[in-house]
Every structure is written in structure tokens, then in C-alpha cells.
Amino acid sequence: MAWTQLNTTEKIKESLRNLQLKLTVTIGTRTLLLTHGSPNSIKEYVYESDDELQESISSLLEEDILLMDIHITLYKRSEQ
């Protein structure tokens, strides 16, 4: 973290602050939700082994597929 703080310009920091926390994209008939961390919070870490939290998140989604930057990719497809 210290390296990042020392080596990230103010311009880049401002760009990062202005990013959307969530982005919804429709491709054909599928809707994707892209988010950093959990859709609940960018500070909530979703572990690959935490099936209960993954199911909880999936049950609340309206989107077909969820992509999270948590060093693993989880997804949920709707029943179509």
C-alpha cells in the first residue's frame, strides 16, 4: 500500500476517486454487473470458500452475471 501511495500521481488518484463503484453492462440478452469487491461494499472480501456469502450475494442480484475484482471471478447466471 505504501508503494502505491508514493508512486501514484495526484491525477491518477483523482481518476480513481471518480470511478463508478458498480457498472452494469448489457450484451445481447445478458446483463453483467461489474464491481470492485462485493456488490455490498468495496471493503467486503468474498472468499472462494465462502459459499454462504456468495449465495447471499447471488440471491439479491437482478443481473445475469457478476464479475468482481477480488482475485477470483464469481458469476451467477439467471434461470433462462
Integer Cα distance of 80 and 69 in angstroms:
26
Give the range of the structural domain holding residue 38, as residue numbers without chain letter: 19-80
Residue 74 lies in a domain: yes
Residue 6 lies in a domain: no
Checking if the pLDDT of 75 tops 80, the result is no
Q: Number of structural domains, the chain?
A: 1
Neighbouring C-alpha atoms within 13 Å toward the C-beta of 36: 7
Residue 4 lies in a domain: no
Q: What is the pLDDT of residue 77?
A: 60
Residues 6+ apart with CB under 8 A from 5: none
Residue 32 lies in a domain: yes
Residue 48 lies in a domain: yes
The owner of cell 500500500 is 1
Checking if the pLDDT of 71 tops 70, the result is no
Q: What is the pLDDT of residue 11?
A: 94
pLDDT tens track for 17-44: 898 888 999 999 999 888 887 888 878 8
- Comparing CA positions, the residue from 34, 40, 41 lying closest to residue 68 is 34
Residue 34 lies in a domain: yes
Integer Cα distance of 72 and 67 in angstroms:
9
